[in-house]
Amino acid sequence: MGRKIKFCLVYRDMWQSAGKYVPRIDQLKEVAPAIIEMGCFSRIETNGGAFEQVNLLYGENPNKAVREWTKPFNEAGIQTMMLERALNGLRMYPVPADVRQLMYKVKKAQGVDVVRSFCGLNDTRNLELSVKYAKEAGMISQGALSITHSKIHTVEYYMKVVDKLVEFGADEIGLKDMAGVGRPVTLGKLTKAIKDKYPHIIVQYHGHCGPGFSPASMLEVARNGADIIDVAVEPLSWGKIHPDVITIREMLYDAGFDVPEINMNAYMKVRTLNQKYMDDFLGYFMEMKNRQSSSLLVRCGLPGGMMGSMMSDLKSMHSAINVSLQQSGKPTVSIDDLLVQLFEEVEFVWPKLGYPPLVTPFSQYVKNIALMNIYAMSAGQPRFSMIDKDSWNMILGRMGKLPGELAPEIVELAKSKGYEFFTGNPQDEYPDALESYRQEMMTKGWDLGQDDEELFELAMHDRQYRDYKSGLAKKRFNEELDVVKNKENKVIQVEDDKDPKIKKIKSPETGRLLFAFISDQYKVGDQISVDEQLFYVESNTNYEVVISEYAGTIGKLYCKQGDWVHEGDTIMTIVTE
């Protein structure tokens, strides 16, 4: 028998890629013994980005969830693994260095063995502290490459990132093929280059099914020296998720690799429990399109997990775009036509924005710019007329260095707006903050928790943690669950004002309303300009930004910061000039 290949069950990501929530603590504890009994996994991805926010949204303690979820695997000798986003930690915006450092200490104490760290821009400055802090905490550090496909994302490009990660002290390299667009042969060459230069380094491949390359990619990386392959189990496999362990095991066995047997009785237990959780409540929050693969994703490179929010965006913009087209004397478009246009526009703008790998949050930024370009052009305006401030922060280098060069027209547009490009270390922009959170907890009489784990949760997810402590999170979740189970229409209704100067601004999807990540909301009478970022709607794994198409003043506000809103809710009205 040939070289040994191990399997990692990406249980957290299976659920994240399928829908909005993950199983509750009681459900995780119920399924753990059956996963162990399958006998084929050397690793389980137990937690990380989006996992703890979900616990908080349920009104559950995420620290208890991680400890109880990792415990049976620790006892069985199966490694546990988490995912983190380097500068962004476990959230979607930057984290102070002292909060990042505490994260590794807490997660190690809670029973997590391996940490997969990735930067969406492959900026090694953002990854250096991840490796350093993980090693200090006694964790296995896996530096991950955000895989995409372009003329600049070559084997040589990725090997420069690998060289720095190894220099920092990373124990392993992860190939994070988050959109599944990595080409199999190229991924094989990259794996061989890593193994030839650093034979002691463990290589783990993670590929979503999306456009359909991942099984071929798994075979190629295995043939070229990969050690661990990420897989899923039914009914949460294939589509935009990950290949099922049965298929990948049989494929690699046929290729002559030493792969573990699968206890099929235990597999069916896990499959049955997953379906039970979906039938209980998780299925209500799953996007059915995520069960389908699509070759349209090959060229635009968008991750499949975005399809749900992307379709919501298109539906909300569809009528406005058709109105603009009609006013210009142009033919209207169907929602399917619009989807193809969006894919083509992403493909067009991506190189001009410096080829950021399309992973959270950069996939959202590129998609937002592309969508607003389509809207602008339907109204006879030029491309890049409307770019939100977070997308500008990416363009200007405040989140890290873009892999490629910006197009001259983007550079000129920035200069015309008086924007300055940032060349410093992004972490320096976010000063230490732990002591301020510690003082808040002491003032409120909150326990800092075992190993300061409660302090960490407040510092990492401050809004969600405060809602959890107040009981508001559990109340909101139960209300949301009641709505979807009973199919009630609780969309905020607004009086039908026929004044053409009054424009209703609606939520593009269901989630948490944020007028800004930190500051307070607008006030009635505030001046609004075209291209101004009005608010975000935040889900567990991404957020959608709403940009004003109008100039005027705030007429009415129907929601406040932190409210749970549904797709189609009117958030505010703008009285146009």
Q: What is the DSSP string of 162-231?
A: HHHHHHHT-SEEEEEETTS-S-HHHHHHHHHHHHHH-TTSEEEEEE--TTS-HHHHHHHHHHTT--EEEE
Single-letter code of the amino acid located at 421: F
- pLDDT tens digits, 383-406: 999 898 889 999 999 999 999 999
Burial of 334 (0-12, 13-18, 19+ CB in 10 A): exposed
Count of CB atoms situated within 10 Å of the CB of 566:
18
Structure tokens at 546: 């709403």
The reported pLDDT for the residue numbered 518 is: 47
Amino acid of residue 515: F
3 state DSSP class of 54:
helix
Global pTM value: 0.85
| Tens-digit pLDDT profile for residues 254-276 | 999 999 999 999 999 999 999 99
Distance CA 290, CA 279 (A): 17
Q: What does the angle CA 346 – CA 347 – CA 349 come to, to the nearest 5 degrees?
A: 65
| Per-position pLDDT tens, the chain of length 577 | 799 999 999 999 999 888 889 999 999 999 999 999 999 999 999 999 889 999 999 999 999 999 999 999 999 999 999 999 999 999 988 999 999 999 999 999 999 999 999 999 999 999 999 999 999 999 999 999 999 999 999 999 999 999 999 999 999 999 999 999 999 999 999 999 999 999 999 999 999 999 999 999 999 999 999 999 999 999 999 998 999 999 999 999 999 999 999 999 999 999 999 999 999 999 988 877 677 788 878 878 877 666 656 666 677 677 778 777 877 788 888 888 888 888 899 999 999 999 999 887 888 889 889 988 988 888 888 999 989 888 999 999 999 999 999 999 999 999 999 999 999 999 999 999 999 999 999 999 999 999 999 999 999 999 999 999 999 999 989 988 887 887 645 555 555 566 778 888 888 777 778 776 544 567 888 888 877 778 888 765 556 778 787 888 888 888 887 777 877 788 888 988 7
Domains 6-290 and 502-576 in one fold? no
C-alpha dihedral sign at 168, 170, 175, 177:
negative
- Which structure tokens are listed for 427? 């972490």
User: Domain residues of the chain, as ranges?
Assistant: 6-290, 293-428, 437-486, 502-576
C-alpha angle 562-516-317 in degrees, rounded to nearest 5 = 90
DSSP letter string, 301-361: ---GGGHHHHHHHHHHHHHHHHHHHHHTT-----HHHHHHHHHHHHHHHHHHTT---S-TT
What are the Cα distances from residue 347, in Å, to 32, 294, 309?
41, 16, 18
**CB within 8 A of 88, min separation 6: which ones?**
94, 95, 361
Closest CA to 264 of 44, 39, 78: 39
Q: What b/e sequence results for 65-80 when a residue is b if at least 16 CB atoms lie within 10 Å of its CB, and e otherwise?
A: bbbbbbebbbeeebbb
Which pLDDT value is given to residue 319?
73
Options 3.20.20.70, 3.40.50.720, 3.40.140.10, 3.40.50.920; CATH of 6-290: 3.20.20.70
Determine the pLDDT at residue 93. Answer: 87
Angle between helices 434-444 and 453-460 (to 10 degrees): 110
The number of beta carbons lying within 10 Å of the beta carbon of residue 288 is 12
Topology given in CATH for the domain delimited by 502-576: OB fold (Dihydrolipoamide Acetyltransferase, E2P) (2.40.50)
* Confidence at residue 41, expressed as pLDDT on a 0 to 100 scale: 98
Secondary structure of 233-299 in HEC code, one letter for each residue: ECCECCCCCCCEHHHHHHHHHHCCCECCCCCHHHHHHHHHHHHHHHHHCHHHHECHHHHCCCCCHHH
pLDDT of residue 237: 94
CB 397 within 8 A of CB 422: yes
In which residue are the tokens 């493909």 written?
347
Task: Provide the 10 A C-beta neighbour count for residue 475.
Answer: 13
Rounded to 5 degrees, φ, ψ at 411 are -60, -45
CB 571 within 8 A of CB 536: no
Pairing mode of beta strands 564-565, 543-547? unpaired
